Amino acid sequence: MGSDVGDPIQHGGNLAKARALFPEAPEPWIDLSTGINPHSYPHSPIPGNVFARLPEPAMLDDLKTVAANAYGAASAAHIAAGPGTQILLPIVASLIGGRKAAVLSPTYAEHARAARLAGFDVTETDELCRMEQADLAIIVNPNNPTGRMVKRDDLLALASVMRAKGGLLVVDEAFVDVSEAESLAGMVGDGGVLVLRSFGKFYGMAGLRLGFAIAQPEIVRTIETRLGPWAVSGPALHVAREALADREWQIQMRERLGTEAATLQACLHDAGIAIHGGTSLFCLVRDPRAQALYQHLGRRGIMTRRFDERPDDLRIGLPDESGWRRLEEALKSF
């Protein structure tokens, strides 16, 4: 195991830390440090029963059916649901044997940690061709934070290499809902590939904790055996069954987020800040002035996400309605 398996990784979304760093900043803070949709899904009220009772097995079956439709999976039997994608990572990494894991990098750091936890030697590489040598290949697509997209044909070719040697390609599609990338959710039937989908990001419901693994039914059953009963909370079942079935909201939201992401890019461009990539839920700045921008925004109560290991990078999410004016003014004064 690498030395960093037990050390907590820093993530966005930590307002207490932002307040400690910028004690003079005006309240309320605008948290742009995560890539979560600021326009949460307008779900119906959650009945008290949903909090009180153990989640009904029939509700989970419903959720899996709705999720299979929404994500384009072959059937509900291809879907495992858990309390957040994060908690699925060590379970997924332990699905196969083998010694070598490769993570297309830079990316969400928890993937490498989970693979090390499962006993793999982990290579972090930015070269797709090097992924083939691994037993466990992990690709976030589109990538967080760079927005890099790997072509579907390249993914399928890699999946086929993995399948042939009993390995596994994990494609984390946490941000695919808002992208032009095609999901692989419908292509897992032959094995060798597993797709992760996150509920909280696109639906703006990260506090609910809900994520999915999409894979061959045998793999799904193994994951569910690990999770045991009642892995998904009642509130998550209630909200997600509505949201995943609401095509109209999904279409309109995709368009809205696309427009807002373009506005964010334009604001950054006008401020002379170089943009490296992103998705409709966040923009990745790569600029020598990234740290100065982090400080400038922080002093104005706007939290963004910096990366210790890449000082020129800054990830900036979308504000809600009330945050735009403050963000625009802060960028103009930079």
Summarize as ranges the residues that interact with a copy of itself (CB under 8 A): 5-6, 8-9, 11-17, 31, 34, 36, 38, 40, 48-58, 83-84, 86-87, 89-90, 110, 113-114, 117, 200, 204-209, 221-222, 225-236, 239
Nearer to a copy of itself, 5 or 266 (CB): 5
CA distances for 308 relative to 36, 67, 70, 117, 266, angstroms:
21, 36, 36, 22, 26
The closest of 63, 73, 110, 108 to 90, measured between CA atoms, is 110
Nearer to a copy of itself, 26 or 57 (CB): 57
Contact between 25 and 297 under an 8 Å Cβ cutoff? The reply is: no
Nearer to a copy of itself, 40 or 291 (CB): 40
> Tokens 């597993």 — which residue?
194
Give the alpha-carbon dihedral of 118, 123, 125, 129, to 10 degrees: -90
- Shortest distance, position 42 Cβ to a copy of itself, whole Å: 10
Nearer to a copy of itself, 131 or 244 (CB): 244
Nearer to a copy of itself, 57 or 311 (CB): 57
- Shortest distance, position 55 Cβ to a copy of itself, whole Å: 6
- Shortest distance, position 126 Cβ to a copy of itself, whole Å: 24
CA distances for 75 relative to 61, 104, 105, 186, 215, angstroms:
11, 29, 31, 9, 10
- Shortest distance, position 229 Cβ to a copy of itself, whole Å: 6
- Shortest distance, position 56 Cβ to a copy of itself, whole Å: 6
Nearer to a copy of itself, 55 or 268 (CB): 55
> Tokens 């334009």 — which residue?
266
Structure tokens at 173: 């599609």
Mind giving me the DSSP string for 221-244? Answer: HHHHHHH-TT-S-HHHHHHHHHHH
- Shortest distance, position 8 Cβ to a copy of itself, whole Å: 7
- Shortest distance, position 4 Cβ to a copy of itself, whole Å: 10
DSSP state of 189: T
- Shortest distance, position 47 Cβ to a copy of itself, whole Å: 10
> Tokens 């009993």 — which residue?
166
- Shortest distance, position 79 Cβ to a copy of itself, whole Å: 16
Contact between 233 and 208 under an 8 Å Cβ cutoff? The reply is: yes
Contact between 145 and 106 under an 8 Å Cβ cutoff? The reply is: yes
- The burial of 121, by beta-carbon neighbours within 10 Å (0-12 exposed, 13-18 middle, 19 or more buried), is given as middle
- The burial of 178, by beta-carbon neighbours within 10 Å (0-12 exposed, 13-18 middle, 19 or more buried), is given as buried
Nearer to a copy of itself, 38 or 145 (CB): 38
Nearer to a copy of itself, 52 or 129 (CB): 52
Distance CA(102)–CA(164), nearest Å, equals 17
Distance CA(212)–CA(64), nearest Å, equals 9
What is the amino acid identity at position 192? Answer: G
Tell me the residue length of the chain: 334
Nearer to a copy of itself, 113 or 300 (CB): 113
Structure tokens at 296: 């400038």
